[in-house]
Amino acid sequence: MTKTAIIPDQDALKRVGAQVRKRLEADPNAYKIPSDKAEIFAVGDFLSAEECQRLIRMIDQVAQPSQLHETAYIAKFRTSYSGNFNPHDPFVKMISRRIDDLLDMNPICGENIQGQRYLPGQEFKPHNDWFYTDQEYWKQERKRGGQRCWTAMAFLNEVEEGGHTHFVEVGVSIEPKPGVLLVWNNATPGGVPNEDTLHAGTPVDKGVKYVLTKWYRTRKHT
């Protein structure tokens, strides 16, 4: 007897994949990283130096109270500080909309933008941004917008040493450059969560690293 695996949100992943790909491929500012394993694009100067500074200050403000807490977390899976920006802040809204427009993504599918700060020694170990649909948490996430389709991540500063975004299976390691936005499809063109999007924020060896991340769902995020 043959068994056909059901891939949750496959049709939507396929459709949104095609929509965003079309937009990015037509954008002269979006550089496609050569790979047949995953669709990854880089957009230079997506954020101005002033915008990066302002976002860094916002991350520092929200990160302050958890500083003691976060040093105790070193050596775990995701050792950086992370927190949501205020989604009602006009400046955050403007940046968020600009990302929606760049990707031609429906704004209702976007999660709140997250800020992250990595101090020396901190990292985000290899992971996929898409959800494992055989896990307990999927029961919730399925109802909250479903599978994650695209990720947009911006580097906000120069890091003295380390802190790359390393796509382990694709074999590319991207060095933080302020204002650069990385965008990738978490699924294959056929709408299946793509194992080859496995990526890490490698340990910061020297300096501090600030990034923002916006994940998109295939359906309305709630």
Residues making contact with ligand AKG (CB under 6 A):
116, 124, 129, 153, 165, 199, 201, 211, 213
In whole angstroms, how close is the CB of 42 to Fe ion at the nearest point?
A: 15
From the list Fe ion, ligand AKG, none, partner contacted by residue 201 (C-beta under 5 to 8 A by kind): ligand AKG
Residues 81-140 that bind Fe ion (CB under 5 A): 129
- By CB under 5 A, tell whether 70 contacts Fe ion: no
What CA–CA distances, in Å, run from 59 to 26, 51, 83, 151, 159?
33, 12, 8, 19, 16
What span, in angstroms and rounded, lies between the C-alpha atoms of 46 and 144? Answer: 29
Query: Residue 102: how many CA atoms within 13 Å on its side-chain side?
Result: 28
Alpha helix segments (H runs only) across 87-204? 90-103, 138-141
What span, in angstroms and rounded, lies between the C-alpha atoms of 183 and 80? Answer: 20
Query: Residue 80: how many CA atoms within 13 Å on its side-chain side?
Result: 23
Instruction: Report CA 142 to chain centroid distance, whole Å.
Output: 19
Q: How many residues bind Fe ion (CB under 5 A)?
A: 1
Beta carbon nearer to Fe ion, 64 or 135: 135
In whole angstroms, how close is the CB of 126 to Fe ion at the nearest point?
A: 9
Beta carbon nearer to Fe ion, 53 or 174: 174
Beta carbon nearer to Fe ion, 105 or 182: 182
- By CB under 5 A, tell whether 141 contacts Fe ion: no
What CA–CA distances, in Å, run from 49 to 73, 155, 178, 179?
31, 11, 7, 7
From the list Fe ion, ligand AKG, none, partner contacted by residue 110 (C-beta under 5 to 8 A by kind): none
* Residue with the shortest CB distance to ligand AKG: 201
From the list Fe ion, ligand AKG, none, partner contacted by residue 10 (C-beta under 5 to 8 A by kind): none
What span, in angstroms and rounded, lies between the C-alpha atoms of 116 and 120? Answer: 13
In whole angstroms, how close is the CB of 5 to ligand AKG at the nearest point?
A: 26
